[in-house]
Amino acid sequence: AGPRLLLEPSLVCGQSGQSGQPQEALAAAAWAGLIFWCLGLPLASLSLCAWKRHELDHFHSQVSLGIISAEYESAYFFWESPLLFRRFAVLLAVGLTHAVPLQVRLVLLLAVGNVSLWMHHSCEPYANRSGILLDNLEANSLRIFCAFTAALLLGTSQVVHPYVATAVVLAVLIWHLDYLVRLVIQVLKFARRAVAEQVVEGYLIGRPADFLAKLCFHGETYSRRYQACVVYDIGAEAIEIQPGLEGREVTEQEQLFVAHGLADSFEAIISECKVDRLSVAYIEFLSRQVFASSATRLRCERRLSVQRRSTGSLPSVEEFNRQHPAGKPSGAAAAPSGAPAAAAAFS
């Protein structure tokens, strides 16, 4: 009767279906769609970004192409295309016919994971608006993928005792769950930080905050006691990275956060503004302007934090405005000495 379709044994390969339409036509349409999906989408993404590569920082380009280029550094605007190729390679390895042994498919998955991990470590393509957080998350996810595939390969190859293989798989699963929990915690931290900044902005413009927003501000204020802060010392004319109020030492991650912010600013000035000579006075202006532009918000945040620690709650908007009349800073001298600022402001 000839070979039959694995997913539908009633269909004989090479014969017409119930509607009388030849299966060759359906197979050609399926292959055309598959080729367009695995090659057309990555090439379309690459061509669009390459066409607008010198305008990706413009507003209209970010609106139209930001979904495929906004999360990457300017030198790796094309990185969405390798990611699409990687997804296709994973689906191809998983969807191979059952005639191919499971060990072969696991080896292919492990090869895809190792190549992707090597490419990521070589390039680290994600933008540094949050330090190297996105690069670390991607690297950890690829490590877990490779470890889980290797554990499954070890268990199915019957090289070790089944109990040992089970213990290895469980250990990798625990690692995976720990990664997911940490990922959720990071998302909640960013959401809490965004809500806390909205509370400060609300006090500046006279908009009251609700109970949940104030609760987020309390949590963010408490967590910042353990985080390093960046200060501009007017007397020494220097930018300093200082430990938090609890005295914890500045970590390497926090140092890299500030360093990447400064590096991105200089890269934008040199590569995008086409500046061949960078004045030392301009570097000083850039350092001052970061703090001066945020001086009002930083003062408001500090006053709210001090009042929260002294009274245990935030004041009303009317009471806060009576105690601290609004004043606009004038120039770089308005930035208070020792005022903390987010390192992301450099970028």
Band of residue 171 on the pLDDT scale cut at 50, 70, 90: very high
**Per the confidence metrics, is the pTM higher than 0.75?**
no
> 324: closest CA among 316, 313, 333?
316
User: What are 244-287's pLDDT values in tens digits?
Assistant: 666 667 666 666 666 766 777 777 777 767 777 777 777 777 76
- Average pLDDT over every residue of 8-15: 66
In eight-state DSSP terms, residue 327 is -
User: What are 327-343's pLDDT values in tens digits?
Assistant: 443 333 333 333 334 33
Query: What letters, b where the CB count within 10 A reaches 16 and e where it falls short, cover 303-325?
Result: bbbebbeeeeebbebeebeeeee
User: What are 14-57's pLDDT values in tens digits?
Assistant: 565 554 456 667 777 877 887 787 788 888 888 888 887 777 77
Rounded Cα gap, residues 202 and 304, in angstroms: 12
Band of residue 111 on the pLDDT scale cut at 50, 70, 90: very high
Return the pLDDT at 211.
80
Return the pLDDT at 338.
36
